[in-house]
């Protein structure tokens, strides 16, 4: 990742300011996980949708830790002494990169599964619960195995931590793979972007499909009430907004 400094902007502020919303977001995920696992209401969250969301929440926390360590903090000069105190090569920098991409890829896969889950309520109807009960064992395999297909190369490409500017070692560090002797055709950030693009289109299609169905049901005054349609509308808008935000974030991450 290339760092650009402007004389009128404090790079530490640019890098660290997002923690204003990152930390509350992580806390929110932790609260939700507490509700799902330990609250008196946990029995209400046994459906496949919530199980997938739990996986996504855990993966989001893990991926965020990897992202902050290997992407955001290295760009902050104030964090340079801390980053330089970490092992600069070998297992540690590699596993953090793997955690980063695996975690965020799991998040993408879970989002794809949740959008499909919402759509199957429409076209599977009575078979919905039976389908997802059987499907969950494959879901676990999918979300834990597939991300490794885009990160296995990192174990062979010498991920290291080095100064971003060799003549100014205190102005941030760069955490990246250095050698492409093995699996040179593989670029994890590019593979992640491709997965992201495919899943974003998938999510958009299924959310639009679900939205159109419930809008039609509402217009025909059939069994689904206006409140059902409004819920689906909010879920669609949420998915669409997340698509825009994730798209922008991914572009910045792989640039």
| Predicted pLDDT at 243 | 64
Gap between the Cα atoms of 215 and 45, Å rounded = 27
Q: Cα dist. 194→1, 126, 187, 201, 224 in Å? A: 18, 35, 11, 11, 37
Q: Cα dist. 63→96, 127, 240 in Å? A: 9, 34, 21
Gap between the Cα atoms of 222 and 214, Å rounded = 10
Give the CATH number of domain 11-186: 1.20.1070.10
Gap between the Cα atoms of 47 and 23, Å rounded = 28
Gap between the Cα atoms of 115 and 110, Å rounded = 9
Contacts of 252 (CB under 8 A, 6+ apart): none
| Predicted pLDDT at 109 | 93
Q: pLDDT by residue for the chain (255 residues), tens digit each?
A: 444 444 456 777 777 888 888 888 888 889 888 888 888 888 878 888 889 989 988 998 999 899 888 888 888 888 888 888 889 888 999 999 999 999 999 999 998 998 898 888 888 877 888 899 999 989 999 999 999 999 998 888 888 888 877 776 666 788 888 887 777 778 888 888 889 889 988 988 888 888 787 777 766 655 545 555 565 566 666 666 666 666 666 555 544
Beta bridge partners of 163: 173
CB 173 within 8 A of CB 74: yes
| Predicted pLDDT at 3 | 47
Q: Which residue has the tokens 């572009």?
A: 251
Q: Cα dist. 173→144, 160, 235 in Å? A: 30, 10, 40
Domain positions in the chain: 11-186
Gap between the Cα atoms of 111 and 56, Å rounded = 8
| Predicted pLDDT at 62 | 92
């Amino acid at each position: 990742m290339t760092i650009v400094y402007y004389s009128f902007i404090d790079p530490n502020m640019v890098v660290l300011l997002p923690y204003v919303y990152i930390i509350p977001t992580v806390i929110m995920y932790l609260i939700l996980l507490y509700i799902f696992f330990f609250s008196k209401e946990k029995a209400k969250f046994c459906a496949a949708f919530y199980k997938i969301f739990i996986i996504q929440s855990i993966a989001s926390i893990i991926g965020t830790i990897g992202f902050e360590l290997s992407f955001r903090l290295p760009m902050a000069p104030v964090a340079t002494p801390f980053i330089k105190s970490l092992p600069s090569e070998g297992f540690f920098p590699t596993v953090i990169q793997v955690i980063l991409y695996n975690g965020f890829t799991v998040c993408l896969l879970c989002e794809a599964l949740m959008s499909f889950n919402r759509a199957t309520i429409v076209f599977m109807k009575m078979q919905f619960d039976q389908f997802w009960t059987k499907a969950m064992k494959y879901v676990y395999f999918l979300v834990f195995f597939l991300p490794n297909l885009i990160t296995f190369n990192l174990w062979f490409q010498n991920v290291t931590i080095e100064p971003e500017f060799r003549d100014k070692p205190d102005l941030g560090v760069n955490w990246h793979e250095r050698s492409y002797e093995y699996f040179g055709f593989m670029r994890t950030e590019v593979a992640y972007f491709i997965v992201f693009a495919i899943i974003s289109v998938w999510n958009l299609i299924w959310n639009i499909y679900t939205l159109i169905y419930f809008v039609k049901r509402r217009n025909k005054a059939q069994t689904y009430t206006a409140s059902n349609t409004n819920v689906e509308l909010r879920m669609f808008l949420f998915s669409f907004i997340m698509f825009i935000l994730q798209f922008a974030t991914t572009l910045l991450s792989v640039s």
